[in-house]
Structure 1
């Protein structure tokens, strides 16, 4: 990876404060995950979110909940139906998922990872609340450094299934960069008897009834996060082909509108897709 690509990864963690506050607002996490900065950013974006909702029918928080809860649902199915006991959440930010799932499943080993600054913050948060222990840990990782990803997986049990999650990560990177990460990740996952990767992405849905407004919203997100926020693929077929090229054997592209159990009511055409890929 180029030095430019590595530097771009530093733009991701600040946005975690906003989503962390959104999870708290919707009763998905404890108050400890809601930072003052996250509250401030949420207040700053409230007029923009209101305008998008009223003017264009795009509810930003609703969209975030769609992806978050569908990822939760697929993780629950993996644990209860396929016996997954090892979970790695990369770019974890201030996600409460590790805390919630470790409470729900006492036998689960949950490894959270993020860039060093955010990893330190998350580790201190979990430790101060008494939630960090031998089966719930936080590590530093740079997804654009192959050795860093290899070190992250080194302590896992290679005789047991594993599931990896990234949420809110993919569309921060240009397509060659994120596909490079997927290729390295697939190679790491092939060392396990069963491995699943869950992520979300936003396709370039030109047929979407709000496509122009969607592009406007994407441009706003890009400015706020100091990136381009590219939309990589036009449809599910292109997504499946991309994951196959990167080394994944099977890929499902899940639309929250068609997999809505436990999700907020779907009142608008869905933008986000959840990907479930396995090696």
Structure 2
């Protein structure tokens, strides 16, 4: 059996509860996105995250907000300046982005996608609030599936391939070893070539060994891995390596953003965990 077939992405979903509560705490999500488990885990971890801020200058919530708001900023620019009218958010979990952007841009077609169990939960949540419709939908997808009803090709077959598209993954790729991630990116780039304009937005935590907070970052991502019952490898050593990696997977234009440098524009206080997360905007 190929290695990809033995790898499960089911361990990712528990982290959605924690981040869902973080978005709510920072006024990025409605109360409908808050789960009892998410509130419980956030409370349970509060002493640890406080200690990490005080002792190590590692602010986990700040890192989450940096990546989330930088992706929001790039998506806003793609819609308002690039004419994008279709968005696919893979591994949507309890992300409130689909709700917020569907409200802000009624003309936008927004498809949220996740593993079947998580997709069903998200669909139930959005349906209960009356938020789903012809423009805002939820679909099942498995990024490791190369064929079948839940593969990437089946997901993108629903889109209008004569119009621009943006694809988002947030809080996903760092759960997998680089070989699996690059396989996903290669298949994604193949799908995006069918569109006249296609942009992929994601985030990475590079293996910045020269960074003064590298040891604290390793501690933090190790904690995240234990909480989500999976490994949490760091990918690439620096920004040029990130660009080269994406180009190898079939993306021709790659821009790497350090959200700590745009904190003020993102509405955030100056970062105490500067330069630990990257947001990538890649086009085919």
TM-score above 0.5, yes or no = yes
Where structure 2 has 5 or more consecutive residues not aligned to the other structure, the ranges are none
1:25-40 maps to which residues of 2 (within 5 A)?
A: 25-40=25-40
Tell me which residue corresponds to 1:139. Answer: 139
- Residues 1-279 of structure 1 correspond to what in structure 2 (within 5 A)? 2=2, 7-147=7-147, 148-260=151-263, 261-268=265-272, 269-279=274-284
Matched-pair contact (CA < 8 Å) for 2:199–2:283: yes
Q: Is residue 4–residue 180 contact of structure 2 (8 Å, CA) maintained in 1?
A: no
Distance 1:155 1:184 in 2: 17
Answer yes or no: is the 8 Å Cα contact 2:87–2:109 preserved in 1.
Answer: yes
Q: Distance in 2 between matches of 1:244 and 1:35?
A: 39
Secondary structure of residue in 2 paired with 1:158 = coil
RMSD: 1.2
Which deviates the most, 154-163 or 5-14?
5-14
1:189-241 superposed Cα distances (whole Å, 9 cap, x missing partner)? 00000000000010011121111111111211111122220011000111001
Q: 1:230 to 1:110 in 2, by over 3 A?
A: same
For the residue of structure 1 that corresponds to 2:134, the secondary structure is coil
Q: Give the SS at the match of 2:68.
A: helix
Relative to structure 1, the CA distance from residue 76 to residue 6 in structure 2 (aligned partners, 3 Å threshold; closer, same or farther) is farther
**How many residue pairs were aligned?**
279
Is contact 1:6–1:144 with CA below 8 Å preserved after alignment? no
| More displaced stretch, 5-14 vs 78-87 | 5-14
For residues 7 and 169 of structure 2, the distance between their equivalents in structure 1, rounded to whole angstroms, comes to 19
Which TM-score applies when normalising by structure 1? 0.97
The answer (yes or no) to whether the contact 2:260–2:271 under 8 Å persists in 1 is no
Q: Deviations over 1:56-96 (max 9, x none)?
A: 01111111001100100000000000000000000000000
Structure 1's unaligned 5+ residue stretches are none
User: SS at the partner of 1:271?
Assistant: coil
Give the deviation of 1:275 after TM superposition.
0.2
1:193 counterpart SS class: coil
Instruction: Report the secondary structure of 2:168's partner residue.
Output: strand
